Amino acid sequence: MVVSYLGWEQEYFLVDSALYPLRPDLIMVDRTLIGHNAARNQQLEDHYLGSIPERVLAFMRDLEFECYKLGIPVKARHNEVAPNQFEIAPVYEAANLANDHNLLLMAMMKKVSERHGFKVLFHEKPFAGVNGSGKHCNWSIGTVSGIGLFTPGKTDTENLMFLLFVVNVLKAVYDNNALLKASVLTATNAHRLGANEAPPAIISAFLGDQLVQAFEDLLNSKDMVKLKGKTSYSLNIPQVPELLLDNTDRNRTSPFAFTGNRFEFRAVGSSANCSNAVATLNTIVADQLKVFKEAVDKRVASGTPLMQAILDETREVYRASKNICFDGNGYSDEWKAEAARRGLDCETSVPKSYDILVDPRPSPSTRGPAS
C-alpha cells in the first residue's frame, strides 16, 4: 500500500498583546489597512539572520513543551524574514496525522501566546511592505514497507521507479495546474501569492539541473538490452545520483519544487488547512498513475516486454509534461507571458479560479494518453 507524507512549515507573526487592541483593523480583519511603512523593516534581513528574542524564545519553548505532550513532533524554530515573523516545523508524518497536528498546533499557539503577552497572527499578509506568511507543504508518497517513491535508488530498476513516479507527478500537476492553484487560493492568500514574494500565482515545477539532465538523458537513452546468457536485462537508465543536491534554496520562486526526496508545495497559506492541497495532490497523482498503468498495459498487450513498456511510457509522459517545468525567475513578467503561451493557468482572481472546481470537463490526463 502507498501512503502520502507531509511535513508542514508554519510561519506566523507575533504582536504584543498590549499594542494589539490599538489596531481595530488587526482585530477585525487580521491585517493592517492603514498606516505607513516602518522606518526600518526587512531591508537588511537583520531579524532573519539575528538570534531569537528572549521573550519569543520563552514562548517557543513553552509551545514546544505543550506540543510534545500532544505528540506533535515539532523540531525546527527560527526567525523569518519580516520583523517579528517566525516559523515552526515538525518532523514529517503520514499526511492525515501531520495535518491534524498542524491544526492542533495552531490552536495551541493561540493559547500559549496569550500566556506570554503575545497575539499570534496567521493571516497571509498582515502588513504591507514586508513578507507575508506561508505554510510550505513538503509532500511525498511511499510504500508502507518504507520505500520512498521520490527517492533515487541504487539500481537501474530502482531509478526507473523513481523517474516514473516523478514524471507522473509532473504530468498530474501540468494537467491540473488550475485545480491545484484553486486548492490553495483564498481571499487572504491572494494578498501573498504573486506579490513578488512567496510563489507566483502560476503553478510550475522546479526539478533542478541534475534531475532535468537525468530526464533529458532518458529521452535519448537506448532501449534495454538482454544480458548475454542471462534472463535479465540492462535497462540503460541514465545515472541518477543516489543523493541529489539539496535544491531547497536553489529556486525560492518556484511554487512546486523537487527537493531531493519530496516535493515542496509552497503556495499554501499560513492560515490554511493543508488537507485541501494534499488531497488534491494525492487525487491528481493517483488519477495520472492509473492512466499510466493503462498505457503500459496496452504496450505490453501489443508485445512489448514490461520493463521496455514502462521505459517507453515514462519517456512519453516526460515529453508531454515538460511544459510545467520552469527553472527561471517565477516573479518575472517574461515568465507570465511564457506561462500563458504554455497554456498554464494565469488567473489571479480567487472567485474565477474556483470555476475549475465545478468544471465538468475532464482534465487532459483522464482523456487518456495522446498515443
Binding site for Mg ion (CB under 5 A): 87
Q: How far is the CB of 75 from Mg ion (least distance, A)?
A: 14
Q: Which is nearer to Mg ion, 87 or 124 (CB)?
A: 87
In 167-200, which positions are buried (b, 16+ CB within 10 angstroms) versus exposed (e)? bbbbbbbbbbbbbbbbbbbbebbbbbbbbebbbb
d(Cα 348, Cα 351) in Å, to the nearest integer? 9
For residue 219, count other CB atoms closer than 10 A to its CB: 13
Q: Which is nearer to Mg ion, 6 or 339 (CB)?
A: 6
Q: Which is nearer to Mg ion, 87 or 327 (CB)?
A: 87
Q: What's the half-sphere exposure (Cβ side, CA atoms, 13 Å) at 335?
A: 20
Q: Which is nearer to Mg ion, 250 or 298 (CB)?
A: 250
Q: What is the DSSP string of 195-237?
A: SSSS--SS--EE--HHHHHHHHHHHHPPPPEEPTTSS-EE--P
d(Cα 299, Cα 314) in Å, to the nearest integer? 12
Give the amino acid at 344: L
Q: Which residue is nearest to Mg ion (CB)?
A: 87
The cell for 249 is 534554496
Nearest partner of 20 among 120, 107, 116, judged by Cα? 120
Q: How far is the CB of 128 from Mg ion (least distance, A)?
A: 19
Residue that is written with C-alpha cell 505490453 in the block: 300
Q: How far is the CB of 264 from Mg ion (least distance, A)?
A: 11
In 20-35, which positions are buried (b, 16+ CB within 10 angstroms) versus exposed (e)? eeebeebeeebbeeee
Q: How far is the CB of 79 from Mg ion (least distance, A)?
A: 10
Q: How far is the CB of 85 from Mg ion (least distance, A)?
A: 9
Q: How far is the CB of 275 from Mg ion (least distance, A)?
A: 20
Q: Which is nearer to Mg ion, 89 or 203 (CB)?
A: 89
Q: Which is nearer to Mg ion, 105 or 324 (CB)?
A: 105
Q: Which is nearer to Mg ion, 76 or 306 (CB)?
A: 76
- 310's enclosing H/E stretch is helix 306-321
Q: How far is the CB of 134 from Mg ion (least distance, A)?
A: 7
Residue 352, Cβ density class (10 Å: 0-12 exposed, 13-18 middle, ≥19 buried):
exposed
Q: Which is nearer to Mg ion, 264 or 287 (CB)?
A: 264
Q: How far is the CB of 68 from Mg ion (least distance, A)?
A: 22
